[in-house]
Amino acid sequence: MRKFLLVNLNNTSTKLALADEEKLLARKVIRTETLSIPLVKRTIGQWSFDHVLVGSVVPKKTTIFRSLFRVRMKELTPELDLGIGIDFSDPRGIGADRLANAVGVATRYGSPAIVVDFGTAVTFDILSAKRVYEGGVIAPGLGVMTDYLYQRTALLPKIDLEEPVSVIGKTTKDAMLAGAIYGYRGLVRQIVTEIVAKLDGKVRVIATGSYADLISAKLPELQIVDLDLTLEGLRIIALRNFKS
């Protein structure tokens, strides 16, 4: 059975997974800013694999994997066999993670569907009932928004994101948490509601990414949390594009 090294290379973190033709076998995470050839070698250790698929939105870091794997590596682009259609003015402008999410949701949950991915940015990607990627929405990520408050104000502290005690904060930290979490749920709810109104059929809404568990906890519009969705999408694409 073939084995694959899957790489989801994003602005904040890079996820590496070992997979075979049936499932993900192991996962590791590296902070993207620290990526280097020696660190990647140490991280994957004794993993044995036949092919490498890299989905990257950080071109300068992609060169690390090109140097390491060359012949047995492919990069995720719209030109690969994805098993879905694309209706987008510039398909090459779609982030690799967004393509992987669309393929993952089509295979695991069907369509129509919306994937809400909580990363450095929060992205909403839409798959029509005909399994066509229709585009989406991009908004600032939750961490970016709270870091901006800390960086651009003199008295507001840096906070760790967690469920607020109440919508009415009794401390500065609690007030910031309430604004971040309740405000972000409002943003997500409104965007999802507007997208669902544009789609035909029963729409599945899947959340993934760093803050998926936190935001979905009290947001029923996010029906399923699947933290492996992007990697599963990469695995499915690898199966379709590495023939032996």
What residues act catalytically? 97
Eight-class DSSP state of 203: -
Question: Residue 235 contacts by C-beta under 8 Å, 6 or more apart in sequence?
Answer: 4, 6, 17, 19, 23, 24
Structure tokens at 87: 């209706």
Q: Return d(Cα 221, Cα 234) in angstroms, integer.
A: 26
Question: Smallest Cα–Cα separation from 122: which of 137, 104, 112?
Answer: 137
Structure tokens at 216: 């979905």
Eight-class DSSP state of 20: E
Tally of CB atoms within 10 A around 225? 18
* CA 86 centroid distance within chain: 18
Contact 188, 122 (CB under 8 A): yes
Q: Return d(Cα 233, Cα 210) in angstroms, integer.
A: 17
Contact 221, 188 (CB under 8 A): yes
Paired strand residues for 140: 121
Question: Smallest Cα–Cα separation from 42: which of 60, 54, 50, 30?
Answer: 30
